[in-house]
Structure 1
Amino acid sequence: MKKSILSTLVLAGIVSAPAMATNVETFMGGGVGYQLDNFKDAAKMHSEDASYQIRGGVIVDNHHRLMATYGYKKDKFNMVEPGEETIKAKHKQDLFLVSYDYLVPVTSNINLFAGASMGAAHNKLTAKTSEASGKDSSTDFVWGGQLGAMVQLTDNISSDLTYRYLDQNYKIDGVRLKGTEQVVWSVDYKF
């Protein structure tokens, strides 16, 4: 009995030693970019405008990045349905994402990365016609992936250029938001 307890403790110590020696860096940052939302079904249209993000997370052993991101986008555009009048619309989106990226070093200060994201998107579509106006919003699950490059500018400051695609399930009155594409430039500060 004592030997099994002792061997279990020794094994636990051997297994956990590398985990305790892990190099973890914390970061916070923000970004700005371009976002394109593809609507399908009854109204074939695209909503595009600037996207803003704040984010924070950790980099583990210089190869694994875990991150939480809040993104915001607002756009005004015209919806045109076949045989119908032009409808003025507004689209507002709040994104709440968690992401994982695998970092691949290219040089001492440049990393390429690829990863996956998932979370929730709160979409609000407001449409005005000659007869009435309506607002429809919902919060739906989103998931997708991203790839890009990270450049270490100083010991504490890095910059990313990221392309991300997110699959969405927002649907109202025959209008469906199929997916979101983003190109974002961000700057992070490591603690």
Structure 2
Amino acid sequence: MNKTPLVLAAVITSVFSIPTMAADWFVGAGVGAQQNGYDKVVTDTGKDPKEVTSSSSLTHDNEFYMVRGGVYLDDSSRLYGTYSYNADDSTTQQSFIASYDYLVPLGSGRLNWFIGASAGSNHVSPESENMSSGNNFVWGGQTGFIFNITDNLSTEIGYRYLDQDYSISNAPDEIDEPVATPKAGSEVTTLSATDSQQVYLSLDYRF
């Protein structure tokens, strides 16, 4: 049974089930650069048993956009949910994740260092119509710095790493070419998404 929807529901629900008293809510948006890692395996389907003829790792770099909202539980912790979008020549990826951060004040208190964990779901849509889209569970962590411009407005620079496990089969050797239906004796490529790394800048408003 696929546990991804259950895990995602649990982490997202935790963000929005915090008591409203003594909590500061915030919303924000950001942009950044994302690097997606892939493993590519080419298999000769005409041999018995099937034989792997080559394997390699590759990366795709592209921009991404995000919106988010959450709550500061106190001066040293926060919970929030994030939706992010990025696309390149091969796939479009949409992530829905919940995160927890621990904050450490630096200097005058306007600057905070944070470190935390994230978990959620990533929806992958290949550009080729002959490849099916799907969801996979992602998890990881983030760190960075928050600068409080005013009592309500802050900016943030951060880095996030997400581990993921998604495979696309019956692809040709080049991942951005149209997919042909594999024939007996043909070489079939399996492309697996392994991880994503994000560097971002955001602006948040705190209520």
Whether these two folds match at TM > 0.5 is yes
Q: In the alignment, what sits opposite 1:186?
A: 202
Could you give the per-residue CA deviations for residues 144-174 of structure 1, whole angstroms, max 9, x where no partner exists?
A: 0000000001111001111000000111111
Larger Rg: 1
**C-alpha distance in 1, partners of 2:22/2:149?**
20
Asked if 1 retains the 8 angstrom alpha-carbon contact of 2:96 and 2:121, the reply is yes
Contiguous gaps of at least 5 residues in structure 1: 1-19, 77-89, 128-132
> Aligned pair count?
155
**C-alpha distance in 2, partners of 1:188/1:33?**
15
Of the two structures, which has the highest relative contact order with CA contacts closer than 8 Å and spacing of 6 or more? 2
One-letter amino acid matched to 1:120: S
Q: In the alignment, what sits opposite 2:61?
A: 48
**C-alpha distance in 2, partners of 1:105/1:24?**
18
| Mapping for residues 8-19 of structure 1, pairs under 5 Å | none
Could you give the per-residue CA deviations for residues 39-90 of structure 1, whole angstroms, max 9, x where no partner exists?
A: 01325322211110000000111111100000000111xxxxxxxxxxxxx2
More strand by share: 1
| Mapping for residues 29-178 of structure 1, pairs under 5 Å | 29-42=28-41, 44-76=57-89, 90-107=90-107, 108-127=109-128, 134-173=130-169, 174-178=190-194
What's the TM-score, normalizing by structure 1?
A: 0.77
**C-alpha distance in 1, partners of 2:82/2:36?**
18
Could you give the per-residue CA deviations for residues 168-190 of structure 1, whole angstroms, max 9, x where no partner exists?
A: 01111111000000001000001
What's the TM-score, normalizing by structure 2?
A: 0.71
SS for the counterpart of 1:134 is coil
Alignment RMSD (CA, Å): 1.9
Q: CA deviation at 1:124?
A: 1.4
Could you give the per-residue CA deviations for residues 110-146 of structure 1, whole angstroms, max 9, x where no partner exists?
A: 000000000000011234xxxxx62231111110000
Percent sequence identity is 39
Asked if 2 retains the 8 angstrom alpha-carbon contact of 1:126 and 1:136, the reply is no
SS for the counterpart of 2:131 is strand
